[in-house]
Amino acid sequence: MGHGYRRVGQWSEKLQLNLDLLRWGSESPLGGAAPGSFCSYPCGPGERQTPMQGASCCWMCEPCRGYDFLLDEMTCRRCPFDSRPDANRSSCVPIPIVRLELHSPWAAIPLAVATAGLAAAAMVTAVFVRNWSTPLVRASGRELSAVLLLGIMLSYCATFAMVSLPGPVACAARRLAPGFGPCVTYAALLAKTSRIQRIFAHGRRSAVPPRCISPASQLGAVAVLVGLQLIAMTAWLFVEPPRAARDYGELPLLEPDRARAFLRCAGSELATLASLAYSLLLMVVCTIYAVKTRAVPESFNEAKPIGLTMYTTCIVWLAFVPIFFGTARSGDKIYIQTATLTMSMSLSATVAICLLFLPKVYIIVFHPEQNVIKHKRSLKGSQASPAPSDAAANGPTDKTGLAGR
């Protein structure tokens, strides 16, 4: 139908309209119906009314943004810090709480590595216990080897504490586990390397063995070093009791629909590293002794395997630090930092098993004919002909008191 004028009514003292003759375009706001007499249409969900200047009864619709919800038709208000607006921004709902799930790759992979490491450590321990009195085990310093295996297994067990559900007991274990296992491991290695260094440094001046190189003395030194860590960790538990906390991260930087709270143990990343600081100090000192004993004759001791172990371990922990702190602003920092810490501990323990124990296990299991008392040389005799040795408490020893293989 073409455009034109048609009579639809008349005005005679009052308006008379024939509504059946009225037609409205389909593009009108009311979809073909008669338009309403509105200055402003009602606002949609999550939109507030902003009055227009010069028209007190008219308004503009402005959406509530960020973490604001619609308190009334003209007011947006911020949700509490532990809440976010719902889909319609009509009220606030609690922010979802998440935790590191055991089936997550961030937990499953470290758990698999730790489980495999524990199985390997248990196998090595069984072989050593079964061959406790053989020359190779005795020459390895079996008492310190037992302590070293204990520290390695504790390092693997730390993974299970780190991925467990946060609570008072679990959080206490999380404070102790990261530092205690490495502390036992590096204390035992430090006792081994310092003994080797003192024996050969003293042997250049005198044929009389230095003091405090017996197994009891070495175990006492390890007990003192580990005891300092336990005292510090126990004091920390009393000063700041362990508890679970919700970490909301930097919520203003996230969209409300992405907001989440991590269930974690209370305490900062620096507090977590504080429990590792003492163990890492022992590792550095042990590495220094390993460097000092690198030129010791290979037939006398484990200096070279220990040195290689410490060099590799230092690389592992040097890689750990930038990853741990570099993810501090990541939305998944809890997952990444936990996985990084547990994998670093498992890798350092695996390095110790592979370099210090597996070669001995290989000889004990597959070449028992080599697990016999051998002639060895003293420090001065290392430049002369070999001399027979007598079996001591730790296996074959020379007059310097150093165990030989």
The percentage of residues in the chain with a pLDDT greater than 70, rounded to a whole number, is: 78
Note the residue count of the chain.
Answer: 405
The single residue listed with the structure tokens 């590096």 is: 186
- Strand 75-78 versus strand 15-17 pairing type: unpaired
- Strand duo 97-98 + 261-265: pairing: parallel
Confidence of residue 121 (pLDDT cuts 50, 70, 90): very high
Q: What whole-number distance in Å separates Cα of residue 327 and Cα of residue 336?
A: 7
pLDDT band for 397, please (50, 70, 90 cuts): very low
Closest CA to 81 of 96, 69, 67, 66: 67
Judge whether residue 184 has pLDDT over 90.
yes
Q: Confidence class of residue 242 from pLDDT cuts 50, 70 and 90?
A: confident
Of 53 and 401, more confident: 53
pLDDT at position 394, please?
Answer: 41
pLDDT at 31 over 70: no
398: closest CA among 303, 302, 300? 300
Average pLDDT over residues 398-402: 39
**CA torsion angle for 84, 87, 89, 92 (degrees, to 10)?**
-30
What band does 2 get if pLDDT is binned at 50, 70 and 90?
low
The confidence score (pLDDT) of residue 328 equals 60
Q: DSSP labels for 72-88?
A: ETTEEEEPPTTEEE-TT
User: Is residue 299 pLDDT above 60, yes or no?
Assistant: no
68-95 pLDDT, tens digit each: 999 988 899 999 988 999 988 999 999 9
Of 92-96, 263-267, 286-290, which one has max mean pLDDT? 92-96
Least confident of 50-54, 148-152, 305-309: 50-54
Adjacent-strand bridge partners of 390: 397
Per-residue pLDDT, 202: 61
Average pLDDT, the chain: 80
Residue pLDDT, tens place only, 206-237: 656 666 667 788 889 899 999 998 998 888 88
Which of 196-210, 287-301, 391-405 is most confident? 287-301
Lowest mean pLDDT, pick from 96-105, 124-133, 172-181, 197-206? 197-206
Closest C-alpha to 265, from 164, 155, 341: 164
Q: What angle do CA 88, 93, 96 make, to 5 degrees?
A: 120
pLDDT average, residue stretch 146-175: 91
Mean pLDDT of 54-73: 85
- How does residue 33 score in pLDDT terms, banded at 50, 70 and 90? low
- pLDDT score of 227: 92
Tell me, yes or no, if the pTM score tops 0.85: no
Q: Sorting pLDDT into bands at 50, 70 and 90, what band is 39?
A: confident
Instruction: Please report the domains of the chain, with CATH numbers, ordered by start residue.
Output: 47-94 (no CATH), 98-393 (1.20.1070.10)
pLDDT tens for each residue of 327-379: 666 667 778 888 888 999 999 999 999 999 998 999 999 888 887 776 544 44
Mean pLDDT along residues 110-135: 93
Of the two residues 273 and 125, the one the predictor is more confident about is 125
Return the higher-pLDDT residue of 326 and 17. Answer: 17
Parallel/antiparallel/unpaired status of strands 244-247 and 97-98: unpaired
pLDDT at 201: 66
**151 contacts 183 by C-beta, under 8 angstroms:** yes
> Quick one: how far is CA 397 from the chain centroid?
42
User: For 53-67, 178-192, 243-257, which range has the lowest pLDDT when averaged over its residues?
Assistant: 243-257
Instruction: Answer whether residue 398 shows pLDDT above 50.
Output: no
